Amino acid sequence: MSSLIDIIEKDITQLQVDAIVNAANRQLMGGGGVDGAIHKAGGPEIMEECRKIGICEPGEAVITTAGQLPAKKVIHTVGPVWNGGDQQEEEQLASCYKNSLQLAVNEGFTTIAFPNISTGIYNYPKERAAETAIKTVKAFLRQNDHIDEVYFVCFDEENKRLYQELI
């Protein structure tokens, strides 16, 4: 069965998928943006597991309970802070998508939802981020038939337009 990529414009915390991905920070300490929204809606069990894990380096991904959320698990990945583009930002962003998908496959999951990693507080240019996200997910899906559905959750108009143009 071939996989599908969908663009949706919703609060990621409300999605009933196997895994939602969090754009976390290296300390897994929660914060603003999508990270804050996930911890707020999911409750304290998510932070308890994050504390036990400790640090997650940029480009890597870890998995925790989803607490009270409708998703089965939360995959926390740490996007790069945009620093001009010559600090391996693109490689790290691609790794976020690849490692999150691989974790989902390892869990036997078939549906996963991504926020627009690094395009908020971390200031990654949105068009470049969208290109890397789409290219990386498509390449992964070509080599892997365990995932049925990947959702790109576009929380703002600009990202939604960019993803619609690029997909």
Residues with a catalytic annotation lie at 35
Nearer to ligand ADP, 43 or 146 (CB): 43
Nearer to ligand ADP, 32 or 142 (CB): 32
CA 109 to chain centre: 15
3-state secondary structure of 73: strand
Nearer to ligand ADP, 12 or 94 (CB): 12
| Residues 121-140 contacting ligand ADP, CB under 6 A | 121-122
| Whole-number Å distance between alpha carbons of 145 and 136 | 15
Number of residues engaging ligand ADP in binding (CB under 6 A): 21
12 sits near ligand ADP (criterion: CB under 6 A):
yes
Could you tell me the two tokens for 103?
């974790």
CB of 155 to ligand ADP, least distance (A): 3
Pick from 18, 120, 133, 162 the residue near ligand ADP by CB under 6 A.
Answer: 120
Could you tell me the two tokens for 48?
């308890």
Pick from 64, 95, 99, 119 the residue near ligand ADP by CB under 6 A.
Answer: 119
User: What is the residue whose two structure tokens read 């998908």?
Assistant: 101
116 sits near ligand ADP (criterion: CB under 6 A):
yes
The two most distant CA atoms of the chain are separated, in Å, by: 41
Residue type, 10: K
11 sits near ligand ADP (criterion: CB under 6 A):
yes
| Residues 33-92 contacting ligand ADP, CB under 6 A | 33-35, 37, 79
CB of 126 to ligand ADP, least distance (A): 8
Q: Give which of 49, 50, 58 is closest to 78, Cα–Cα.
A: 58
Q: 63: part of which helix (H) or strand (E)?
A: strand 61-65
Contacts of 142 (CB under 8 A, 6+ apart): none
- Interface residues with ligand ADP (CB under 6 A) are 11-13, 23, 33-35, 37, 79, 115-122, 153, 155-156, 159
